[in-house]
A and B are shown apart, each in its own frame.
Chain A
Amino acid sequence: MTTNNPTEHQEVIVCQDVQKWYGDFHALKGISLTVKKGEVIVILGPSGSGKSTFIRCLNRLEEHQEGEIVIEGTTLNYDVRNIAEIRREVGMVFQQFNLFPHLTVLENVTLAPIHVRKWTHEHAEERAMFWLNRVGIPEQAHKYPGQLSGGQQQRVAIARTLTMEPNILLFDEPTSALDPEMIKEVLDVMRDLAQSGYTILAVTHEMGFARTVADRVIFMDAGQIVEENTPGDFFSNPKNDRTKLFLSQILNH
């Protein structure tokens, strides 16, 4: 017993036996996971293992068919009010950035706060500039996404997510579509966020990030969580055979 503060150990994401099928294909075979506030979790696994599907279930971009997902006390079900509530609190960053090409960077970032949070334009723009500063590209605010490099676009996408002031951040392979020299600028931002107390779930292939930043590493294969471990043990001392194979494949080339 180190502390009595209830928020310290608050469980912000609770998944119970989550199942999902695409037609006949069983994509998620009973995922159970509990995430505490402020935890940084990296999800690893071979392609097709269901890691993207899983985190996309957390804000209802995909629908799970069985099991229960509770996020900050709100159950994710068909009720659109719950979905809206959860999407306000959960931010997501995509592999392909998915910025809105017809809006300027600033409009991209302020859109959701103005229309979802109902902030005034002035307040939204002030917060947007704060976050654009934080990700290091305030000078690009009036450009269009098509005029930016991949790394800058991804940082705009992160600012767009953060301006909504979410408590939980989902990263879906945020660096996979980037040129190698741009990966670092995005990882630096993510590292910065991890240290500022956000609850983060990241699907990534950046082993360095997983090793240094994650509180827990989760390894998924064929729709199941195969291993759950601290990064230190996961990389140096994996328990599961499938994990060992995966690590040998990615580390020995």
Chain B
Amino acid sequence: MTTREPTVPITRQRREIHFDGRRIFREHFGRSWWLALWLLLLAYVTLLYTLNQFGQATLTTTAVAVIWLATLSATVYNEMTHAHHPLTLWLKDNLYSSVTNALLTLLLTLLILAAVRGFVDYAIVRASFTTDPDLAKATLAQYEKAGANWGAVIANMRNLMVFRFPRAETWRLTFVVGYLGLMLLASAFVYTQQRLRRSRIRQGLNYLWIITPIVTFALLLGITITPGALQSVLVQTAVLLLLLGALFYASKYLLRRFQHAAVGLALILVWAAAVAGALYLTLENVTFRLNPDVAWGGMLLTMIIAVFAVVASFPLGVMLALGRRSQIRGVPWWLTGLTAGLLTIYLLVNSSLPALASARGLLGSILAFWPLLVLPIAYLFQKNFKGNVVAAFSTIYIESVRGVPLITVLFMSIILFPILLPPRMEILSTWRVMAAAALFAAAYLAENVRGGLQAIPNGQYEAADSIGLNTFQKYRLIILPQAIRIVIPAIVGQFIGLFLDTTLIAIVGLVELLGVANLITAQPNWLGVRREPYIFLMFVYFFGSWLMVTLSRRMESRTDR
């Protein structure tokens, strides 16, 4: 045997290169003048920036450029030979899908690296972490370009978290945080367990959540038992709890036994009286030591306002959404007309005539006839809402609030509202701002929920009607669970906005997180500190928003069916 057959390698076949230069040019460069121009520009910018970075950070830039070139050529080679490795396929799909993307990959990698390096340099390498202002000054002085002075943030951490909350009362905060943490943990477990759906544990947790706001607010307001009254308070609380529990089961029984609206109404009255009585008896023996306007601040205030606004705006928003869609029989047109007519005559006699007598100039005389405006308003009410008071109120409320920026509402609550109150009556700024935030959020929430309500097909209403559910049951069991599920993404988006918007209350004078940050930049012993508190805030708000997004995604995926 002299000649040997050329052996074909079994493991590896020769790769055939498919290369069509004209097609590649046509598809990637020659499609239009704009594309060619753009690619030229992008290539130019990338080249310039890469060269620039070679000067600044030779090692990293070289490494990035080499990796980029190597992976790019491997991808192109594999593409031409039609033999992709999973890695190059991924690269082709995600990073090198076109010339533009390949160039952008290099440019953005270098930009991100530069940004990260710059930040790390500023925030860690050249930064000072000591809480001693003088030492910090000395540390920072050794650098040509001084980094962050984190000492200012660390030394002020208590201020950022709770601001002026008295140190002696810190245990209240610890207790509240621990309690809420436990409640959230328990809820995360109990509410996700299908087998606990109707268990007593879940019911008990529901009741605990109902009293949670009361407990939290009482503690944060510094509830204190009057000295010497401890025993009577304990006995009283025990008795009250027993009585309320008995009342609860009695009303449950009565409602089941006598299904009549009058029974429900009577029970509501009894409950209102019972709660008022219990409150009265309890408040006699306790005092609230802390003034929220003074004691609440920083992160604590931010959280209180955000959580309160979210929780309180929810039922309000749902009611407004239902109200706007309500189709109850309206006030008949003749009644509206009659009322408006009588009111106009009454106001003309009682307000216009005296005003006319003392009016100065033509304008004053004309303005004296303002009661005539009642008539067109009545006409518009009938024309647009057909006499439906509920729909009219909800619509006007929603649209007025949505027509005003939040900052205006906050200013109104701080500056205008006290003027409108009767003399010697005062409502603390904290309460006013909390109410303003909740009322503002409710209007937006109402529109979100209304969107969800519109997505529910008519058949759901008909089915609920046909099996005999009453209106309340129909909305509670059938319509709202579906409608709200649809709008969870929108609602969470709105609540994130609300959480971030709480920074606006720094402008109206309450010292929440941003307010504290502003104060830190003005502290004499941390002169020169400008950015650090705000960078810290950035991370806090980012973390908060990220948490909400993650939770909502969990909720969506769990309810996706």
Structural contact, A100 and B561, CB atoms closer than 8 A: no
Structural contact, B198 and A164, CB atoms closer than 8 A: no
Kindly specify which of B6-14, B133-141, B460-468 makes contact with the partner chain. B460-468
- How many residues of chain B have a CB within 8 Å of chain A? 23
A79-123 interface (Cβ within 8 A of B): 80, 84, 87-88, 90-92, 94, 96, 98-102, 111-112, 115-116, 118, 121
The reply on A61 being an interface residue by CB < 8 A is: yes
- Across the interface, which residues of A come within 8 angstroms of B561, CB to CB? 101-102, 144, 146
- Across the interface, which residues of B come within 8 angstroms of A59, CB to CB? 465-466
Task: Encode contact with B along A185-199: 1 for CB under 8 Å, 0 otherwise.
Answer: 000000000000000
The number of residue pairs between A and B whose CB atoms lie closer than 8 Å in the complex comes to 65
Residue of B nearest to A164 (CB): B467
Give the shortest distance, in Å, between B435 (CB) and chain A (any CB). 33
A87 to B481, CA, bound (A): 23
**Is chain B's interface secondary structure helix, strand, loop, or mixed overall?**
helix
B545-561 interface (Cβ within 8 A of A): 559, 561
Structural contact, B469 and A115, CB atoms closer than 8 A: yes
A91, A111, A146, A164: most-surrounded residue (chain B CB, <10 A)? A111
Structural contact, B460 and A164, CB atoms closer than 8 A: no
Residue B466 contacts which of A87, A102, A115, A146 (CB distance < 8 angstroms)? A87
Structural contact, B465 and A101, CB atoms closer than 8 A: no
B198, B457, B469, B481: most-surrounded residue (chain A CB, <10 A)? B469
A174 to B177, CA, bound (A): 56
Residue B468 contacts which of A96, A98, A102, A112 (CB distance < 8 angstroms)? A112
Known A98-B462, A111-B477, A146-B561: A161·B482 in contact at CB below 8 Å: no
The reply on A160 being an interface residue by CB < 8 A is: yes
Residue A99 contacts which of B462, B463, B465, B481 (CB distance < 8 angstroms)? B463
The reply on B200 being an interface residue by CB < 8 A is: no
- Across the interface, which residues of B come within 8 angstroms of A115, CB to CB? 469, 473, 477
Residue of A nearest to B473 (CB): A115
- Across the interface, which residues of B come within 8 angstroms of A101, CB to CB? 482, 561
Structural contact, A98 and B470, CB atoms closer than 8 A: no
- Across the interface, which residues of B come within 8 angstroms of A161, CB to CB? 466-467
Structural contact, A112 and B467, CB atoms closer than 8 A: yes
Task: Encode contact with B along A132-167: 1 for CB under 8 Å, 0 otherwise.
Answer: 000000000000101000000000000011001000
Give the shortest distance, in Å, between B37 (CB) and chain A (any CB). 52
Structural contact, A84 and B470, CB atoms closer than 8 A: yes
A191 to B303, CA, bound (A): 62
Give the shortest distance, in Å, between A162 (CB) and chain B (any CB). 11
The reply on B325 being an interface residue by CB < 8 A is: no
Known A94-B459, A115-B473: A121·B198 in contact at CB below 8 Å: yes
- Across the interface, which residues of A come within 8 angstroms of B259, CB to CB? 118
- Across the interface, which residues of B come within 8 angstroms of A111, CB to CB? 467, 469, 477
Task: Encode contact with B along A44-80: 1 for CB under 8 Å, 0 otherwise.
Answer: 0000000000000001110000000000000000001
- Across the interface, which residues of A come within 8 angstroms of B256, CB to CB? 118
The reply on B114 being an interface residue by CB < 8 A is: no
Known A118-B256, A146-B561: A87·B477 in contact at CB below 8 Å: no
- Across the interface, which residues of B come within 8 angstroms of A87, CB to CB? 465-468
Give the shortest distance, in Å, between A143 (CB) and chain B (any CB). 10
A121 to B198, CA, bound (A): 9
Structural contact, B459 and A98, CB atoms closer than 8 A: yes
A99 to B561, CA, bound (A): 14
Residue of B nearest to A160 (CB): B467
A112 to B465, CA, bound (A): 10
Known A111-B477, A121-B198, A144-B561: A98·B465 in contact at CB below 8 Å: no
Give the shortest distance, in Å, between A63 (CB) and chain B (any CB). 12
Give the shortest distance, in Å, between B425 (CB) and chain A (any CB). 42
- Across the interface, which residues of A come within 8 angstroms of B464, CB to CB? 100
Structural contact, B481 and A112, CB atoms closer than 8 A: no
Known A121-B198, A144-B561: A116·B469 in contact at CB below 8 Å: yes
Residue of B nearest to A96 (CB): B459
Residue of A nearest to B463 (CB): A98
A148 to B267, CA, bound (A): 43
A111 to B470, CA, bound (A): 12
Give the shortest distance, in Å, between B311 (CB) and chain A (any CB). 23
The reply on B478 being an interface residue by CB < 8 A is: yes
The reply on B432 being an interface residue by CB < 8 A is: no
Residue of A nearest to B259 (CB): A118
A84 to B468, CA, bound (A): 6
- Across the interface, which residues of B come within 8 angstroms of A121, CB to CB? 198
Task: Encode contact with A along B443-464: 1 for CB under 8 Å, 0 otherwise.
Answer: 0000000000000010110111
Give the shortest distance, in Å, between A189 (CB) and chain B (any CB). 18
A140 to B259, CA, bound (A): 34
Give the shortest distance, in Å, between B131 (CB) and chain A (any CB). 54
The reply on B164 being an interface residue by CB < 8 A is: no
Structural contact, B466 and A91, CB atoms closer than 8 A: yes
The reply on B84 being an interface residue by CB < 8 A is: no
Cβ-closest 9 pairs across A and B: A98-B463, A112-B467, A98-B459, A92-B466, A87-B468, A116-B468, A88-B468, A96-B459, A102-B482
B interface residues with partner A (beta carbon < 8 Å): 198, 256, 259, 457, 459-460, 462-470, 473, 477-478, 481-482, 485, 559, 561
A-B contact pairs, 26 of them (CB 8 A): A59-B465, A60-B465, A84-B468, A87-B466, A87-B468, A88-B468, A91-B466, A91-B467, A92-B466, A94-B462, A96-B457, A98-B459, A98-B460, A98-B463, A100-B460, A101-B482, A101-B561, A102-B481, A102-B559, A111-B477, A112-B469, A115-B473, A116-B469, A146-B561, A161-B466, A161-B467
